[in-house]
Amino acid sequence: MIDVVIMCGGRGTRLKPATETQPKSLLQVGDRPMIDHLIGHFLGYGCRRFVMCLGYRAEAIRAHFQARAGSSPVVRSDRAVQMAVADGVPFTVVLADTGLDTPTGGRLKRAEPYIGSDSFIVAYGDVLSDVDLTELHGFHTRQRRLATVTAARPTSPFGHLVMGDDDAVSAFLEKPKLNEWVNIGFAVLERRVLHRLSVNSPQLEAGLLPEVAAEGQLSAFRHHGMFEPMDSYADYTRLNEMCRRGELDLFKGPTVTAGQQWQPSSAGLRGA
């Protein structure tokens, strides 16, 4: 079973005032916090072990998972808390304090002691997507490279004009998909890349990922489905408006409700 590392320690300054008192991963999107949408998606593919890289407002995230714990938390000798959360679907969360202002590269290094699988997924706690994780992991395995990122074509925030040489407008494209591909996270990494990191490493996009790309060891999995970042307060408002209008079906995993039972598909990532 593949581990999932979730980056949820950032301050979320562009999401103020919503993040004045809570971390962005706990902001409500529709009827549940952002982190529950994300974990629900992973649960739907058989993932059962999550390492949360905590930082800003870490105590709020701890309280969120402790409130849902089906058994008493087990405090490890390094003071990271690991608990079995049985909220309909049992899964394990390791709550790792990775520093208040640590870049993602340093956070991943500090989370290394808790990563048990030979390859693992790194996701960001502020991006929602319907990425097919089985296809992603299979693609990474076939590529035989150290790392794979998920790439998608973003939607332009503007209306685009199709114009001729005579300046006549022949068409108006309302917020089309752009031709460029961007990194949306949902990366699969081989555990052996962790030795390249230190607790002072910069953001993954500024250090590790460009490094392995220069060596020909980075692949891009092309995702053609939904992805919705929550980078700003405007994004936060937009996502909730989309939910209210029924335009965004975010929760792809099982409905995590006490008392319900769910069995993962044999086609999931178990055994990966």
Look at residue 267 in the predicted model and tell me its pLDDT.
40
pLDDT tens, 106-146?
A: 999 999 999 999 999 999 998 889 899 999 999 999 999 99
Percentage of the chain lying above the pLDDT 90 cut: 45
Look at residue 113 in the predicted model and tell me its pLDDT.
92
Average pLDDT over every residue of 236-243: 89
Q: How confident is the model at residue 222 (pLDDT cuts 50, 70, 90)?
A: very high
Residue 263 has pLDDT above 60, yes or no: no
pLDDT tens, 10-35?
A: 888 888 887 888 899 999 888 889 89
Q: How confident is the model at residue 51 (pLDDT cuts 50, 70, 90)?
A: very high
Contacts of 238 (CB under 8 A, 6+ apart): none
Residue 190 has pLDDT above 90, yes or no: yes
Half-sphere exposure (CA, 13 Å, Cβ side) for 263? 1
Q: How confident is the model at residue 259 (pLDDT cuts 50, 70, 90)?
A: very low
| Cα 215 to Cα 237: distance, rounded to the nearest angstrom | 40
Q: How confident is the model at residue 74 (pLDDT cuts 50, 70, 90)?
A: low
Look at residue 157 in the predicted model and tell me its pLDDT.
66
Look at residue 80 in the predicted model and tell me its pLDDT.
63
Look at residue 92 in the predicted model and tell me its pLDDT.
84
Helix (H) or strand (E) holding 106: helix 104-111
Could you confirm whether domain 3-245 is CATH 3.40.50.150?
no
Look at residues 1, 267, 39 and name the one whose alpha carbon lies nearest to residue 115: 1
Question: In terms of pLDDT, which residue wins out, 153 or 76?
Answer: 153
Average pLDDT over every residue of 197-208: 96
Of how many residues is the chain composed?
Answer: 272
Residue 205 has pLDDT above 90, yes or no: yes
CB-CB contact of 119 with 140 (8 Å): yes
- Give the domain ranges of the chain: 3-245
CB-CB contact of 54 with 95 (8 Å): yes
Residue 90 has pLDDT above 50, yes or no: yes
Look at residue 249 in the predicted model and tell me its pLDDT.
65
Look at residue 36 in the predicted model and tell me its pLDDT.
87
